[in-house]
Amino acid sequence: MLFQLSLLVKSMNKDKIKIINADITKLDVDAIVNAANQALCGGGGVDGAIHRAAGPELLDVCKTLGGCNTGLAKRTPGFNLAASHIIHTVGPVWYGGHKNEEDLLASCYLETLKLASIHNVKSIAFPAISTGAYRFPIKKACDIAIKTIVEYLSSDNQLERVLLVCFDAKIERQYQKLLVIK
């Protein structure tokens, strides 16, 4: 699996994907992705950080969106952020792998990328969705993130830069293993 992914990554335009250690709220990209909950009402982790940095208008707009199902995505403006767009996606809670969690996580990345394309986004930053409060195993989550992004990029000409934002050394190491570029 790891080997296949590495080959796949090597066969595409690798420069488009970058792994960075950063606070996602500080990034100057067209869109940042929020690992939200179904109510889209703010929370802890990256969701809390994004709401604090974007300002209270974000919650006001989120409240009008009617929530978001797991595996889907909704867009708001970035308000006080440098990013023009926030794409809120709801990752699955990990229940041991018997509740379609892997497909739902892949769907988060895919639906987010599709929505980004609709809004003409050229640069986007993803946190490691579901790997915090939702307890998705890190290796599986990183595999799914990279595989889904790489597949999407292979048929998309619009996105120029995808940042995989790490807040945790284990996640950074896992992404680095998958994106070995020699």
Residue from 79, 126, 134, 152 in contact with ligand AR6 (CB under 6 A) = 134
Would you state the structure tokens that stand for residue 69, as one six-digit string? 């199902």
Tell whether residue 165 is a contact of ligand AR6 (CB under 6 A): yes
Burial class (CB in 10 A: 0-12, 13-18, 19+), 15: exposed
Q: Which of residues 21-80 bind ligand AR6 (CB under 6 A)?
A: 23-25, 35-37, 43-47, 49
CB 92 within 8 A of CB 131: no
**Looking at 15, 23, 28, 47, which residue is catalytic?**
47
Amino acid at the residue 121: V
Residues pairing with 164 in the sheet = 19, 126
Would you state the structure tokens that stand for residue 41, as one six-digit string? 């009402």
Q: Rounded to an integer, what distance in angstroms lies between the CA atom of residue 87 and that of residue 143? A: 21
Choice between 8 and 49, CB closer to ligand AR6: 49
Tell whether residue 127 is a contact of ligand AR6 (CB under 6 A): yes
156 annotated active-site: no
Q: Residue 11 Cβ, how far from ligand AR6 at the closest point, in Å?
A: 28
Name the site residues for ligand AR6 (rule: CB under 6 A). 23-25, 35-37, 43-47, 49, 91, 127-134, 165, 167-168, 171
User: Hey, which residues are catalytic here?
Assistant: 47
